[in-house]
Chains A and B, each alone.
Chain A
Amino acid sequence: MTAPLLANDPTATPPAPVDRITVVVRRSFGDRVFHLSARAAGTLTLALMVLVFYFLLNASKTFFKVESFSKFMTDQAWVPDEANAGVGSLLFNTILVSFLGVIMAFPFALAAALYVSEYAPRRLRRSLTLLLDLLAAVPSIVFGIWGFFFLMPRQRHLSIWLSHELSFVPIFKVTDGQYADSPFIVGTVLALMIIPIAASVMREVFSQAPPVEREGALALGGTRWGMIRSVVLPFGRGGIIGGMMLALGRALGETIAVTMLVSVVFTRSTHILHQGSNTISALIALDWGEASPIARSALMAAGLVLFVITLLVNVVASMITSRTRSGSLTEI
C-alpha cells in the first residue's frame, strides 16, 4: 500500500514508516476439530491408495523377475508358469466390454436423468432420485445372476438377428453359431449396472442448472425441450462426461457380474456377438484359487495395470465433473 508510486522520481519523499501488524485468525475449537479430522480423513485415503499401489507393485515383483515389464504389457497369451503372460489381450478385452457397456448405457442414463430432473412430476422427483441412488447400490452379483439365467438365453435371439441382418457390419460377424458369453452380453449386463450411477451423477448436475437461465429460455417462448437443449445440457456437459467416465471406471473394475458371464479368451477379436470375452478382474477372480505363486504374481501385475487405468479414469472423471462451468464468468 505504501509503495511509492513514482519510484524514480527524485523529488518523491520517502514513504513514512508504518506500523504493520499480522492478523492471526484464530480458529474456534469446533473449527479446529473439523479441520483436523477432514485433513486426517483425506490423508488416510491417499495413504491407502499409495499402500494398495505399493502392495500390488511388491506382489508383482516375482513375476517381473521372469518376464520384462514391456513384454508383459504386450503379450497376449496367459501362461504365467512358462513366463509367457501379459495384458495384451486382457486389456483389450477389458476395455472392449467396458466401452460396450458405457456406449449402451449412455442414452438410457441420459434419458433417465433428464426424466427425473426435468419431466417427472414434482411429487415423484424425490422418490425417483432416491430410487436411482438405490439402484446404483444393488450388489453386482444380482446383475450377474440375472444376466446369466435371464438375459443370456434371451439376448441370444437378438445376437442371432443382429449377426444375420447386419452381417455387413464387421463387428457383428459370427460364422460358427457361438453366441453365448459374448462381449455383447457382458457389455449389456455392465450397461445395466452402470446406468443408475451415470444417471445419478447427471441428474445431480442437471438439477443445478441456474433457474434464471431456465426462465430466460422459457420467457423467449422456448418449449421445455428447447430450454433443456439451450440451458440444461450445455450446463450439464461436465456432469454428462464425468458421469460416464465414473461409470467407465466402475465397468473396468467390475468383477463378480463379469466373472459369471465370461468364457475366457486370450485373443483380440472385435466380433462382439461371438462367444468369448474376458476382463482383468474376472481373470483374477477365476484363476486365483488354483494359481501357483508365480501365476499369482502375474495376476497381481495385471491387477496393477487395472489399478492404474481405473485411477486415471476416475481422476479425469472427477476433474471434469468438478470443473467450473464454461460460463462461470457470468456471475456478476
Chain B
Amino acid sequence: MTAIDTTRPGSDAANKDGPSRLTAHGVHAWFGNHHVLADVNLDMTPLEVTALIGPSGCGKSTFLRLLNRMHELVPSATLAGHIELDEVDIYRGDLSATEVRRRIGMVFQKPNPFPAMSIAQNVLAGAKLGGIKLADRDATVERALTRAGLWNEVKNRLSMNGGALSGGQQQRLCIARALAIQPEVLLMDEPCSALDPTSTRRVEETIGEICSEVTVVIVTHNMQQAFRVSQQCAFFLATEGEPGHIVESGPTEKMFSEPDDQRTLDYVNGRFG
C-alpha cells in the first residue's frame, strides 16, 4: 500500500473529469441468433468497485465488452439497450468507438502486453495509438507503473522487453498500460485468473488504490476476491436455454450476507457454479 505516487505532476496526470458513472439500461446482446444477455440494468458508480459474478457462460465477459464497444468487433454480434457514460449514450451519441475505448479502458483475462515493445513503450502504447501528445513521457511511465504496483520491480529495466516479465508482472504492466491514458472507467475481465496468489494480492491492492480515480468494474470467479475488492456486486445467471441476466445486484456486503434471492446466497456460498 506504499505505492501511492506523491510526485505526480498536476496538469498532465490528474484526471480531468474524475471517475465517471457508467449505466446500463435494458441491455441485450446476441451472437448471431444466440441471445446471450437479456434486459441488463446496472449502475456502475464512481469511487466504488463493481464486481460481476456468476457461473461460466452467463455473459459477464459479453456484458463487460459491451461497456467499451469491444463487443461489436465480433462479426455477427448485435445489441440492444442503452449504455451511458456520464449520461452520454456510447452507442448513439457523437462518441466514436475509439474515443469510447480510450475513456473506458480494459484489462483482459490473459495478460497481453505487446511483446515486441519495451516495458516503457508498452505503457506509452495507448498514447501513441491515440495520437496523444505527452508532456513528460518519463513521468507518465513512472506514474502509471507506480499506480499498477510495478514500478519498484521494473524501474531499472524499463527498456527490457515487455514479454520477458512474469505472468503477474505482465498483467500489472497491462494495468499500467490501461491507466497511462487516464481512462475514466477501467474494466477488468478476470484479471487474476492466470496469476499466482502473490500477484493476485498485488493486483487487488492496485484496484483498491486506483478506485479513487477511475471507476472499476471487475469480473471475477473468486468469491473472496469479489468480497475483498468490491463495494457493489451484480450476480449474473443464465439458466438452460435462456439468455443471461442479472438475478440481483447491490452492495457487496448485502449480497454476501443477506441477499434477496436464494440463488445468490447459494452461489456466493459455493453451492453451485
* Partner among A210, A220, A325 whose Cβ is within 8 Å of the Cβ of B126: A220
Confirm or deny: A230 has a beta carbon within 8 angstroms of a beta carbon on chain B.
yes
Decide if A230 touches B102 in the complex (CB within 8 Å).
Answer: no
A218, A231, A326 — which one has the most chain B CB atoms within 10 A of its CB? A218
Confirm or deny: B4 has a beta carbon within 8 angstroms of a beta carbon on chain A.
no
Question: Nearest Cβ distance between residue A124 and chain B, in whole angstroms?
Answer: 13
Categorize the interface residue count of chain A: 20 to 34
Q: Which of B67-75, B146-154, B210-218 contacts A (4 or more CB under 8 A)?
A: B67-75
Q: For residue A218, which residues in chain B have a CB less than 8 angstroms away from its CB? A: 70, 73, 101
Q: For residue A231, which residues in chain B have a CB less than 8 angstroms away from its CB? A: 114
Q: Which residues of A132-191 have CB atoms within 8 Å of chain B's CB atoms?
A: none
Residues 285-322 of A, flagged 1 when their CB comes within 8 A of B and 0 if not, give: 00000000000000000000000000000000000000
On whether A221 and B126 interact (CB within 8 A), knowing A215-B73, A330-B170, the answer reads yes
Q: Which residues of B109-163 have CB atoms within 8 Å of chain A's CB atoms?
A: 110-117, 125-126, 128-130, 161-163
Q: For residue B177, which residues in chain A have a CB less than 8 angstroms away from its CB? A: 216, 220
A327's nearest neighbour on chain B, judged by CB, is B115
Question: Nearest Cβ distance between residue A229 and chain B, in whole angstroms?
Answer: 8
Confirm or deny: A20 has a beta carbon within 8 angstroms of a beta carbon on chain B.
no
| Number of residue pairs A-B, CB distance < 8 angstroms | 100
On whether A332 and B170 interact (CB within 8 A), knowing A216-B112, A216-B114, A230-B129, the answer reads yes
A210, A222, A227, A235 — which one has the most chain B CB atoms within 10 A of its CB? A222
Decide if B129 touches A217 in the complex (CB within 8 Å).
Answer: yes
B166's nearest neighbour on chain A, judged by CB, is A332
Chain B residues near A (Cβ < 8 Å): 68, 70, 73, 75, 98-99, 101-103, 105-106, 108, 110-117, 125-126, 128-130, 161-164, 166-167, 170, 174, 177-178, 181, 194
Given contacts A221-B130, A327-B163, A328-B115, 10 further A-B contacts (CB under 8 A): A212-B108, A215-B108, A217-B114, A217-B129, A220-B130, A222-B129, A329-B115, A329-B163, A330-B170, A332-B167
Give 15 A-B contacts (CB < 8 Å), ordered by A residue: A122-B75, A212-B110, A215-B108, A215-B112, A216-B113, A216-B177, A218-B73, A219-B70, A220-B101, A220-B105, A220-B126, A222-B101, A226-B129, A325-B115, A326-B161
